[in-house]
Structure 1
Amino acid sequence: MNRPLFVSIDGPKGTGKTTLLEAVTKALRADNHKVIRLCEKKSDPFRAQTMALVNQLVRNPCRDAELSICQRLADSRAWISQHSIATQPADSIILIDRWYPSDAAFRRLVPFPEILQLNIERKVRVPDLHVGVVTDPDISWARLSARRRGSGSTLLYGQEEHETSTYAFERAVTENGWVLCRNEGSLEEATAQVVAEIYGIRRHD
């Protein structure tokens, strides 16, 4: 492969994405791989302006406003693709915490296939591996409830909304053929699954 291997780890809140990403990073580095860690929201130079629109959407939900946010996020991912991903060493493995698959969980009025098309049109980098991390929503909700900051979500406020987003995301994983990682067992099991998927792609390339 003459470009970095790009892996996105996505899913609803409380499923352990960030913890899993850290464990995968540690396992890959222990095997002497060059791993670059990125986070979509921290790499997005336009995040503050977009989040201001998100806060307006929460108060006055409508499809046009949500579509505008989806377009802005796709534009940001195109920028990240060009400036943060394409510039990494060709022999590296890039792990990103959230990418466009996560929109399947949090967007409500714009269908995910339409969001996907927005990203394709803008030439957003398609991950070489999409990992969709899920748990039973009761488990992830209990994890969120145990956090001092709660869900930390601008868009989701109750367990029912969390369940809806979880099932929407899991449908998107199935429909798009992404790798489903059920993070309900041990962290070691989930880490081994993701690392094996990454090595499988590298062998085929």
Structure 2
Amino acid sequence: MIPTKGMFVTVDGPGGVGKSTVLAAVVNQLHADGLPVFATREPTDTPLGNLARHGTDTYRGLAMACLIAADRYQHLTTEIRPALEAGALVVCDRYIASSLVLQRMDGVTPHMIWELNHHADPPDLAVVLTADPGVIAARLASRGAHSRYERLPDSSRIEHELYTEAVTSLSNHGIRTLVLDATDARPEELARTIAAEVAALRSRDPDDS
């Protein structure tokens, strides 16, 4: 029997990788599996989160990194932790992995990023979507840039490389990661893979390492 306990799952990836579409499929799959899902995102849809989301042309470097971290701590306090305590499976669109990429593109060191996120709850599972940089760039060009990060020259290749480093960094900090290639895979296929990993984690003995 699957234990009724909260679980924290995050999904990150480069702009244009298809993250929003995959996330919607993940939430649908988890609902179909009968799990109590709480879907959320960062930056949040709050005054603080919107300041960060829509302020990428105004705030840079440490100022932006601090805005993102402040929004994250408020998010944890007001939404994520209460949902976990209620037994929900929290699925968050962007979390620490995105900070390890976007803030580095802004010139902030990995050490400082981890320092700013030192008190942030680690996810039970960090999913990182990746794809061929050329494919990502084409998708990004088709849908348009959402921020100055995506308008940077060669942003898709840079994000791809930094997410590879972010995965290593997350693993080194003891965070379980799942890397999925979204170059050709259908969103529903990726969602089933993520749901299967979630089910496997939820069914493990809490005393297992």
User: Which TM-score applies when normalising by structure 2?
Assistant: 0.83
In the alignment, structure 2 segments of 5+ residues that lack a partner are: 172-176
Residue 82 in 1 paired to residue 84 in 2? no
Q: Distance in 2 between matches of 1:174 and 1:189?
A: 25
Contact 2:43 2:71 in 1 (8 A): no
Question: Which range moves more in the overlay, 137-146 or 154-163?
Answer: 154-163
Match of 1:127 in 2: 123
Percent identity of equivalent pairs = 26
Query: What are the superposed Cα offsets for residues 52-109 of structure 1, whole Å, 9 maximum, x if unpaired?
Result: 763234xxxxxxx511221221121111101111111532111111112112222221
Within the alignment, does 1:163 sit opposite 2:157 as a pair? yes
Written as runs of structure 1 = structure 2, the 5 A alignment for 1:3-82 is 4-50=6-52, 54-57=56-59, 65-82=60-77
Provide the secondary structure at the position in 1 that maps to 2:122.
Answer: coil
What amino acid maps onto 2:169 in structure 1?
E
Q: Distance in 2 between matches of 1:196 and 1:52?
A: 35
Q: Structure 1 residues 114 and 200 mapped into 2: Cα distance closer, same or farther (>3 Å)? A: farther
Query: CA contact under 8 A between 1:105 and 1:166: conserved in structure 2?
Result: no
SS in 1 for 2:149: coil
Shift of the 165–91 alpha-carbon distance from structure 1 to 2, 3 Å rule, reads same
Please say if 1:136 is aligned against 2:135.
no
What is the identity, as a one-letter code, of the residue corresponding to 2:108? V
Q: CA deviation at 1:129?
A: 0.7
Task: Report the CA distance between 1:44 and its aligned residue.
Answer: 4.2
Aligned residues: 194
User: 2:27 touches 2:37 (CA, 8 Å); kept in 1?
Assistant: yes
Contact 1:141/1:159 (<8 A) preserved: no
Moved more, 41-50 or 109-118: 41-50
The 2-side partners of 1:6 and 1:22 are apart by 16
CA contact 1:29–1:35 (8 Å) conserved in 2: yes
Offset from partner CA, 1:146-178 (integer Å, 9 cap, x none): 22xx02122231451221122111221133222
Give 2:179's aligned residue: 180
From 87, 90, 94, the equivalent of 1:94 is 90
1:194 aligns with 2:189: no
How far 1:10 moved relative to its partner? 0.6
Structure 2 letter corresponding to 1:92: A
Distance apart, 1:186 and its partner CA: 2.4
Query: Where do 5+ consecutive residues of structure 1 fail to align?
Result: 58-64
The one-letter amino acid of 2:203's match is: R
2:174 counterpart residue number: none
In 1: Cα distance, 2:55 partner to 2:45 partner = 18
Residue identity in the other structure for 1:97: D
CA distance in 1, matches of 2:128, 2:150: 19
Relative to structure 1, is the Cα distance of residues 168 and 78 closer, same or farther in structure 2, using a 3 angstrom cutoff?
Answer: same
TM-score by length of 1: 0.85
